[in-house]
Structure 1
Amino acid sequence: MRFTQRLMVSDVVLPKAWLMVLALGLFVQLTGLLFNSDGSRYATQTYLLLFVPALVLFLWQRLSLHTWSQVPGVFFLCLLAWVLLSGLLNPGSSNGAVYWLKIALLILLYVFAVACLVRHKRAFTWLLVAVTATAVVFAWLTLYYQFGVLDKPVSYRALRYARLHELGWRGLADLKNPIIAGLYYGVFAVLLTYLLVGFKVRAWQAALLVMGMSGLLAYILFTASRGAWFATAAGGLATLLLFPNVKSRTLIGLGCLMVVVVASLFWPEIQYEQRRGVSGRDLIWGNWADRLPEFWLMGAGAGADLIFNFPNSSLGFLHAHSLYLQLWYEYGIVGFSLFVLLLLSLLWKGWQCRAEPLARLGLALLVLAMVAMVSDVYAIFHRPSPYWVLFWFPVGILLGVSRRDGRECLEPSVQEKPENDSLTLT
């Protein structure tokens, strides 16, 4: 399978003004939840600064057909089309066709905007630096305010039942749920790892990156979200393996040593987590399997709730606690198959293009998302949210990445040996 770049000159080189507009809009979408205590304000900023400019650029580039003509682009469009059909024709859908048309258009424009900026490597890299620095600042501010100002205890028992998910001051950086918070900051942990091992950095820059990573990992740890722990570890390890150099090998060694030390120091807590198992998810998944004959073919409808109540308890849930199962429940075998094909095609393209550093970053972020979606993430077809950062952001990266000289993305052994990007962070 070959992924070729069929771009006109006008599609490759965007004016600096457009790059600034796209970068600002994506910065607001990626980090706006940290600055805004009001969700409607965040939505307004995202619409005006990202979606409106992206729509104008989308029409100017004549629907950007080159982006969708590649195999992952075809599966992406087919998946959006199936979501629209489900919203229109399936009586179990939670909203009407107009709503799902809006959601599909927003996702299309978002992925398009990311793909466009990815083709301008330097501009996209500085966007990554800006959003990662912002996330690091908020992670450290949260740790300082929660444990320094509010003086919350740092014991395992206290942290297990008062899980971190907000800064705690004036509604800033309130992600509503510790699982969402852990996965959201996990994305930036992978981005920071990429900046550390994918670029030539000076000693003081490396020290700042390590300090930033410490804040992000501490925040993720204190969310007590095992899904976020495993997903971040998988994404980080994928990044290190995809950028083989002295720094990455050193970090892998230090990581293995840290795992051994932590396991020996916190063995009772690890045993407790093991006894907790999947926190009742096995019952939810079993209920999904029991009801499979009801929805396996066409699905229960776009946005339909999978209602489950625990036996002898008033506690209930509205989704499958696994995005893979939830998508099958909502969109049937066709929608689920299209989603899996999209993932596989993106992985294949990223692997074929792995001589490009951003392709390897996209792969690492997609690995993080794929692990997270096993036990967490309730929806990706909805309004802009942290889950867009988790899933649609790497989709946009992998759809946009290509060789800048217009040649095919070949195996590195045929094309060239992957090397660290020559751009230095100064």
Structure 2
Amino acid sequence: MPATQPRVYADRTFDTITQWILPFGLFAFLCGMFILPGRGPLQTLYYLLLAVPTLAALLLRPRELLATLREPIVLLVLALALWAIASVGWSDTDDSVWGLAKRPLIMLLLFPALALIARHRLEALPAVLSVAAPVTTLATGVFLVSYIAHYPADTRLVGGGAFDNPLLSAHLFGFFCVYWLHRGLGERNLPSIALCVLGALITFAAVLATGSRTPLVALSLAVTWLALVKRDKRSIGLLLAGLIAGALVFLMFHQELLSRGSSYRFDIWKIVAGLIAEHPWIGHGYDAALQIDVNIGFMLAEPHNFALGALFYLGIIGFIPWAGMQLVALWRGLQLRHQPLVVLATTWVVFGIGSGLTEGGGVFSRPNEHWYLLWLPLAWVAAVSIAHRGRGLPIVQPSVPSASDRQAIKAGKVIEADGLGAKVVQLADGSFVKLFRARGVFTSNSFYPLAQRFADNCFYLNQRGISAPTVLALWDMGGGAAAVRYRPLPGQTVRQAHAGTADAAALAHGFGAFMAQVHELGIYFRSMHLGNVLIDAQQRFALIDVADMRLLPSPIRARLRQRNLKHIHRYPEDAHWLLTTEAEAFRAGYASKAGGKAAAQLALPAA
């Protein structure tokens, strides 16, 4: 049934938020510390472009919140936040309950924000990273050049933007260094690898220039995690290269690394451990006063360790969800290690754990550098996990084809080819193999490969009543290439059916109804033409070649519907009989599923 006008406006607002505002807000937040003049503008940016739009989207569709709350990581974060708010009751803080409660509640909105992007525009996550990482790395390069040119040798790099502390700056430089290391492991062509190596070198040099030691430990842990999860030659090579680089850094800078001793960390931790022992189970309460005297002329207010901070403020009861959310995230990383976005996010989690060994200690804060070490990585893992579950996608682990599989492809019948070789091959058992080659330089394909998209889209379409091929296997062919083996659908293309039918009007009516059904389900199939739609003997329609497709949360807009028609019009013979000779039958079929108003809005291009 066609939607009412208020529902249409609500859908359009929700789509704008999830498709455009939240991805842009995530990009701005990732770059904010490098560009904005202080943390205040960063917090304002987070509220305006992430928190408020997310709240509006949840009010428009409350079921989205339920989908988010089914994720164990989110439940553990929520439990931690609620316990923190409850602990204000025995805290000696001077702030009001509401003033303190706002921090975890505002932070919690980060989880549905990323979940909304992942559920309704998953490809936006790698796309945002592909733009944000070069921007922040370019800014890092500018910071380095300015530091080398204008500062004495005994100073430490702080950087521009909102940075004001070398250790905190090192966390952000290391955050993007992890991105470049992970991305380099997934790239296959030389120019892309070179870009990743350059990005990693710039960010790693910035970490060294800050003179901070803990981020170096955190990067070592991150590289070890990558080797554990990926278990391939490249990751093992990266681990060995990391060990060599670590040894060289120590040999070249051992005096600088050791000159500051322990920075009173052991004294601080001993004092904090004693305070924890006073209230081990419930802690001293959220935002309780902490004064640490290590005889340096002033008092310290942080335990300089994330875990000790959780224990001091929230006790063992609060520490359980705090540790649990990170352990569950790492477990999800092992479960979904074939998903590059999850591997990257869990590597960030490991980097955050390493960075938190000697830094920070506040449980909740306003948006700042610590969010990149804990909340952003956790939200990222949760979001991809929620999207995976929400789309009902099975866990398809890409495998390496056996020698017999490769031989079967070579011996198969080539159905489609281009100048570079076969694209679709029919095997002896009747199944088909669609081959995907490595794409151009620095694309999001390394995070969400086309072969994986094809497989996911097939599952998604079949789940929602739109016939699509049944995926049998997902193969890593090596060298950045991949392949999907699938069971073909019976029938012939609509183009072939028209050539052999005397009832073109009935065919046009049926195709119009099918296109409207696809549009009303929020499916934007970019390659919608009569050669990519099948019809079987029972007059049921199906989609093929579904790698290039967007899955929108609402019925697609008139502009995208019109774009589908323009794509059909690129084939003059098809457009003539469908959109001219049988235009009325096509419109009537479309109206039967989408309503007369939507059908009337289909303005056909001039022939």
Matched residue, 1:330: 313
- Inter-partner Cα distance in structure 2 for 1:100 and 1:290: 26
Give the ranges of 4+ consecutive aligned residues of structure 1 lying more than 6 Å apart after TM superposition.
Answer: 418-423
- Inter-partner Cα distance in structure 2 for 1:122 and 1:401: 11
- 1:164 paired with 2:164, answer no
* Percent identity over paired residues: 25
* Range that drifts further, 233-242 or 130-139: 233-242
| Amino acid across the alignment from 1:370 | I
| Deviations 1:313-353 (CA, angstroms, capped at 9, x unpaired) | 41321011111111111112211122112222222222222
| Amino acid across the alignment from 2:285 | G
| Amino acid across the alignment from 1:138 | A
Matched residue, 1:146: 147
Matched residue, 1:252: 239
Closer, same or farther: CA 306–78 of 1 in aligned 2, 3 Å: same
Q: Which of 334, 342, 348 is equivalent to 2:331?
A: 348
8 Å CA contact retained: 1:285, 1:320: yes
Q: Which of 149, 156, 163 is equivalent to 1:175?
A: 163
Unaligned runs of 5+ in 1: 1-9, 168-172
Matched residue, 2:110: 110
SS in 1 for 2:184: helix
Matched residue, 2:357: 374
Give the alignment's TM-score, normalised by structure 2.
0.60
8 Å CA contact retained: 1:231, 1:372: yes
| Amino acid across the alignment from 2:196 | L
* Range that drifts further, 377-386 or 219-228: 377-386
- Inter-partner Cα distance in structure 2 for 1:292 and 1:377: 16
Closer, same or farther: CA 291–38 of 1 in aligned 2, 3 Å: closer
Matched residue, 2:458: none
- Inter-partner Cα distance in structure 1 for 2:261 and 2:195: 37
Q: Which of 148, 173, 178 is equivalent to 1:190?
A: 178
Give the alignment's TM-score, normalised by structure 1.
0.84
| Amino acid across the alignment from 1:358 | L
TM superposition shift of 1:178: 1.0
SS in 2 for 1:111: helix
Unaligned runs of 5+ in 2: 1-9, 402-435, 444-607
SS in 2 for 1:338: helix
8 Å CA contact retained: 1:354, 1:418: no
Matched residue, 1:234: 221
TM superposition shift of 1:367: 0.5
| Deviations 1:73-129 (CA, angstroms, capped at 9, x unpaired) | 221211111111123x12423522212331122111112212332343321001111
Matched residue, 2:304: 321
8 Å CA contact retained: 1:114, 1:393: no
- Inter-partner Cα distance in structure 1 for 2:122 and 2:343: 13
8 Å CA contact retained: 2:38, 2:163: no
Matched residue, 1:219: 206
8 Å CA contact retained: 1:58, 1:64: yes
- 1:302 paired with 2:286, answer yes
Matched residue, 2:423: none
* Larger proportion of helix: 1
- Structure of higher RCO (CA pairs closer than 8 Å, 6+ residues apart): 1
| Amino acid across the alignment from 1:221 | L
- Inter-partner Cα distance in structure 1 for 2:99 and 2:228: 41
Matched residue, 1:3: none
- Inter-partner Cα distance in structure 1 for 2:352 and 2:380: 13
Q: Which of 399, 417, 422 is equivalent to 2:382?
A: 399
- 1:100 paired with 2:100, answer yes
8 Å CA contact retained: 1:380, 1:388: no
Matched residue, 1:282: 266
Matched residue, 1:4: none
Matched residue, 2:133: 132
What is the root-mean-square deviation of aligned Cα atoms in Å?
Answer: 2.7
- Inter-partner Cα distance in structure 1 for 2:317 and 2:438: 44
8 Å CA contact retained: 2:111, 2:379: yes
TM superposition shift of 1:230: 0.9
| Deviations 1:402-422 (CA, angstroms, capped at 9, x unpaired) | 33751455xx7xx54499997
